[in-house]
Amino acid sequence: MDRRPFETNYGGAIYGTILSMAVISTLSKDESLGPVQIAVWTAATAFVFFLAHVYADIVGAGFARPSEAKDLARTVARHQWPLVQGSLIPVVALLVAPLFVSDEHATYVAVYVGVFALFLAGIAIGGRERLGWGRMLIIGSINAFIGLLIVGLKIFVH
């Protein structure tokens, strides 16, 4: 199937979600950090990774003049922005969770919301490819399984 080079970047969104889940899981080990602090560090990490991806894509593409780099930077930033968007799903869950559960359990809620988001991303990818429900569920389940590995890491580390 012929694709436009900068259509919806599901891969970036998935990467951002997994990145956030990993950062949240790691930072949750530090009992001195609350959900807001973990959320801020997680969002900041995602933004740094976004900048790193943009920079790497620009350098990797090469350019002859600064004006070309500027145009490329805008295009690449638009393409890479889903990394930040995907990372915000667990971050927002982490900020909202303390309204319903203890601060200690908020990180678990954030990570499980990330797992669910990964599952839905798999369904969306399958839908984009016009796959049947069975294959869509397999893709979603594989995405969720990767997320569950992060949850397992969180539990193992604790």
In tens, the pLDDT along 115-158 reads: 999 999 999 988 888 999 999 999 999 989 988 887 787 667 66
5 within some domain: no
Q: Where are the alpha helices (DSSP H) in the chain?
A: 10-27, 35-61, 66-96, 103-128, 133-157
The answer on pLDDT for 2 being more than 70 is no
73 within some domain: yes
pLDDT of residue 62: 77
pLDDT of residue 154: 67
Which of residues 131 and 71 earns the better pLDDT score? 131
Q: Which domain holds residue 89?
A: 10-157
Can you tell me the distance from the alpha carbon of 156 to that of 15, in angstroms, rounded to the nearest whole number? 22
4 within some domain: no
108 within some domain: yes
Share the mean pLDDT of the chain.
Answer: 88
pLDDT of residue 59: 84
105 within some domain: yes
The answer on pLDDT for 1 being more than 50 is no
Q: What's the number of domains the chain is made of? A: 1
